[in-house]
Each structure stands twice: as C-alpha cells, then as structure tokens.
C-alpha cells in the first residue's frame, strides 16, 4: 500500500500533512468546487444586502464562516464583497416603493389606488408624482 504524501509513520500509522485534507486544491491553486460554490452563494447574498445572520441561517453555517469568506473575497478584490455604506435594506425598500409608484402612475392608476397597492401613505404618492412631473419638464 502506497501512502503518497505521507510523512514517516508514528506508531505504525502513516502521518499525513495538514494540507492533504485541506479544501484548497494543491493542483492549480483553486478552492474545492463545493467551497467555491458556497463562497459564491455567500457573496451573492451579501451583494443583495442580506444581513450576515440571515446568510448564516439560510446556508446553515456559522457567522464566523460568512465573515471569513467575505474577508477572503475582499482580499482577492471581488466587487461583491464591498457593500456601499449608503445602501441599507430600508433605503433599498424606499427606492423600490418609489419605483413602483412611478410605474403604477404611468399605468394609469389613481393616487389612492397606488397607495393601497404599494402600502404607503397617500402623501408619499403625491410627493413622488410631483417629483416625477418636475423631472419630466
């Protein structure tokens, strides 16, 4: 029986170096496909402004693992790992509502109907519609 990469035997058992069981592929220097897929899932969720705790729960891993993947991705220069400070979930939700209001107004809905559909105040609908008119001029 050949023990490739094994160190001298201790107590009759071959001792393998730590890198033998690493998820890092020694040939070509690439991460194992499973690890790479998981890192991509983490980065995609992070880029979608998903909180770290939610990513960990969804992928059934620890928050420390999520942080480690993000740290490595930042070191590699992956743009998905850098989340602008100004983009937070509430801000993205507000942008989405404003976009929905404009689309519904263009479709011919009344302000009250838009407010009911988007679940926002009538005043917000009026302000967004007014801003849209100013931009159109």
Amino acid 9: pLDDT: 60
Amino acid 1: pLDDT: 46
Task: List b or e across 114-133, with b for residues whose CB sees 16 or more CB atoms inside 10 angstroms.
Answer: bbeebebeeebbeebeeeee
Q: Please report which residue ranges of 20-110 form alpha helices under DSSP H.
A: 33-47, 52-59, 63-76, 89-106
The residues spanned by each domain of the chain are 30-83, 89-136
Note if the pTM is more than 0.85: no
Over the chain (137 residues), the average pLDDT of each successive run of 10 is 54 63 61 84 89 91 92 91 75 87 94 94 94 86
**Separation CA 69–CA 10 (nearest Å):** 35
Element (H, E) at 111: helix 111-118
Amino acid 49: pLDDT: 82
Amino acid 21: pLDDT: 58
Amino acid 24: pLDDT: 60
């Amino acid at each position: 029986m050949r023990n490739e990469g094994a160190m001298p035997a201790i107590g009759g058992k071959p001792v393998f170096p730590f890198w033998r069981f690493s998820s890092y592929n020694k040939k070509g220097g690439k991460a194992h496909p499973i690890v790479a897929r998981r890192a991509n899932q983490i980065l995609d969720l992070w880029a979608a402004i998903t909180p770290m705790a939610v990513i960990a729960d969804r992928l059934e891993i620890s928050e420390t693992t999520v942080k480690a993947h993000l740290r490595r991705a930042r070191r590699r220069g992956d743009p998905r790992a850098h989340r602008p400070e100004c983009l937070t979930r509430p801000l993205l939700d507000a942008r989405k509502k404003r976009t929905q209001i404009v689309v519904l107004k263009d479709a011919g809905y009344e302000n009250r109907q838009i407010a009911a559909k988007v679940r926002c105040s009538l005043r917000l609908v009026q302000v967004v519609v007014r801003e849209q008119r100013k931009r159109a001029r």
